[in-house]
Chain A
Amino acid sequence: ETGVTQTPRHLVMGMTNKKSLKCEQHLGHNAMYWYKQSAKKPLELMFVYSLEERVENNSVPSRFSPECPNSSHLFLHLHTLQPEDSALYLCASSPEATTGSSSYNEQFFGPGTRLTVL
């Protein structure tokens, strides 16, 4: 069973709706990520949070707004989305260990939220 959960698993929304995606990790990790996976495109990193601070924002439109209230939870708030935003949104976490040359910060992924924007 994955240590990273995402809700909802499926979401259909209109362009004027406001919704939020939720990610929760039970692994004691310090870093969390949002990825977007569109059909026929490589996985795109959207946001990275390390110790609850945003450390990466890959030119993501402002209609996507992340929130990391604590190291276990990550949200992606959505508003006025476009049909081209329809995709699988994956959350991941990693230890971000700072000691030990053998550590490798494997990312654990959640099952994803399949978003359809009408």
Chain B
Amino acid sequence: AQKITQTQPGMFVQEKEAVTLDCTYDTSDPSYGLFWYKQPSSGEMIFLIYQGSYDQQNATEGRYSLNFQKARKSANLVISASQLGDSAMYFCAMREGRNNAGKSTFGDGTTLTVKP
């Protein structure tokens, strides 16, 4: 079974609007971390935001927030006030184990296109 599932191969959003990128995960380890990365066309993977399995509050980093629903095993990324530069591939990833020192598993990614 796939550990990280991103069901949206592609998403479109109008500039200045908010968009939610879906991510569900599967693990039996009580300790895990969830990460979102952005990959522009240049290829570099850019870390955006992290949510730990024991974190009580949803993570936020500027325009990025993570809608963490532990019971549903979902960790959706919300981008507010989209900008043209947000157009990129977005990957959800999970690292299992204490201090999240285990192997990372990545989803298939979602291509986000921001329209002017």
Are both chains from one complex?
A: yes
- Which chain A residues have a beta carbon within 8 Å of chain B's beta carbons? 2, 31, 33, 41-43, 45, 48, 56, 88, 90, 92, 96-98, 100-112, 114
Beta-carbon contacts of B16-47 to A below 8 Å, as 1s and 0s?
A: 00000000000000000101010000111111
| A112 and B43 contacting across the interface, CB-CB below 8 Å | yes
Residues on the A chain within 8 Å of B91, using CB: 43
Residues on the B chain within 8 Å of A97, using CB: 99, 101
Total number of residue pairs linking A and B with CB closer than 8 Å: 65
- Which chain B residues have a beta carbon within 8 Å of chain A's beta carbons? 33, 35, 37, 42-47, 50, 52, 54, 91, 93, 95, 99-101, 103-109
- Known contacts being A109-B45, A111-B43, is A104 close to B109, with CB within 8 Å? no
CA distance A112 to B42 in the complex (A): 9
* Nearest chain B residue, comparing its CB with the CB of A31: B101
Residues on the B chain within 8 Å of A108, using CB: 47
